[in-house]
Amino acid sequence: MCNWLKRYKQNIFIIIMSGFIALYLTCFINEFTLTTNLQRGFIYTYFVLMIFICSAFFLKKISKLSCGFKSNQMISILFGALVLCIISGDFLMPQIYLPNNIIISISEESNQDSQGKEVWISDIRVDGVSKDIAQYADDNSGWVYKENALYGNAVESKSLTLPFEKAQKIEISFVMHKWSGNIKIENDQFLSTFDLYDLNGSSIKVNVPVAVKNYSNWIYWGLKGGQFFSYFIILFLLFYLFFKRKNNIQIKN
């Protein structure tokens, strides 16, 4: 009866742990890979089953070792997972990316040494892929495509709005020369100004932070739970390998 109750509690723990980790992993691959709820449900179920089977297998293996886990060692693993979860913070949390509208404005003010207030956008990259910048030309706002770049100036050009689908990384490159002016780049996540004047001529690449969606509280803590149990599994496997090696040494002796 005691063994049955122990296995029952063990299986309940593994199921809960598998559910959290599966949520964490599914959210990681969901953003740019999965497109339907059916796919998400299938992947989530797949992760739950695989994690449950692997966890049950390793628990069975480790129970056969002559120097199995003690309660204080299991507490150490749990504490280590908690510490790693706190240290990593939200750095390893999956993100939900949103469409981006980036606004570029040319300032009336410019560097005192500048001979103009021009702005030349030479390249736009979304997730490392260079876009056809001609598509962003807007005659109504005074931005034109010429010499393989987008051109605007403080006298004739209004603010330029660049619409993007959801992305992980957006980079905008500007030409810098002695006729360049000052610009302001902004979106929901970012606001900064740049002086593009350079007497000798060069370029600057601006990494614009992308728009992301904030998680609801229950999803956020569900993902943190998945992160915690992921660390727990990693530490558990490391301890398992250590004890297995220790057990083999004892058998040889």
Same domain, 118 and 190: yes
E strands, 81-132, where? 96-97, 100-106, 118-126, 129-130
Same domain, 114 and 84: no
What total of structural domains would you count in the chain? 2
Same domain, 108 and 206: yes
- The alpha carbons of the chain give a radius of gyration, in whole angstroms, of 27
Top-ranked range on mean pLDDT: pick from 122-131, 188-197, 244-253: 122-131
The string of pLDDT tens digits covering residues 151-209 is 998 888 888 999 988 888 999 999 999 989 899 999 888 889 999 988 888 889 999 98
The string of pLDDT tens digits covering residues 31-84 is 767 778 888 888 889 888 888 888 777 776 666 554 555 667 777 888 888 888
Same domain, 88 and 156: no
Report residue 52 as tokens.
Answer: 């449950």
Q: What CA–CA distance (Å, rounded) separates 130 from 124?
A: 6
Same domain, 51 and 149: no
Domain containing residue 111: 104-210
Q: What is the mean pLDDT of residues 114-130?
A: 91
- End-to-end CA distance of the chain, in Å? 36
Q: Which of 142, 130, 76 is nearest to 106 (CA)?
A: 142
Same domain, 128 and 187: yes
Same domain, 202 and 109: yes
